Structure 1
Amino acid sequence: MQKLLQVITVIVVGIVVMFGGRWYMYVAQSETPYDEVGIALNGYMPSPLRSWGCHKMQERFANQLPPYGCAGPDGRSWL
């Protein structure tokens, strides 16, 4: 039973690192804010992380329209 729990824990940690790392790469290093995978991952993040990610991208792409999930009510302003 303990071995099964250990395997499940390793799998869960691996998944979190893989998807979390991909999301961070999108937020911090992407060449464009319109990466479909990054937008989808950002949509699955908890609200505080999503907000941080949107603000980080706003700093980098201030002159572009925000991606889905980071747009204000008018669709043209950042959150």
Structure 2
Amino acid sequence: MIVVIAVVAIMGQRWYSYVTNTTDPFDEVGISLQSYMPAPLRHWGCMQLKQNFGQKTLPPYGCQSADSGTKWVD
């Protein structure tokens, strides 16, 4: 049980570091963790990334709008 809690805590911290970072929106581990999060957390994560990188780069996988891969999800 302690191992499961530790793994969830480490993964959660790693995901949070990814979505709040200001250096690399294309971190492969962060993108993978983002895809495993529940929908509300994925949306919040994409909004954080958009806030940090919205005008600077294309959205990473999972944060693109449904109609265009070059636009951020709203």
1:11 Cα shift? 1.1
In structure 1, stretches of 5+ residues that fail to align are 1-8
Q: Which residue among 56, 74, 77 is the counterpart of 2:71? A: 77
The one-character-per-residue Cα deviations of 1:29-70 (angstroms, maximum 9, x if unpaired) are 251111111000000101000000000010000111000000
1:11, 1:40 → 2: CA distance? 21
Q: Which residue among 19, 22, 29 is the counterpart of 2:14? A: 22
Q: Where do residues 40-55 of structure 1 align in structure 2 (5 Å cutoff)?
A: 40-55=32-47
TM-score normalised per structure 2: 0.90
What is the RMSD computed on CA atoms of the aligned residues? 0.9
Runs of 4+ more than 6 Å apart: none
Q: Which is helix-richer, 1 or 2?
A: 1
In structure 2, stretches of 5+ residues that fail to align are none
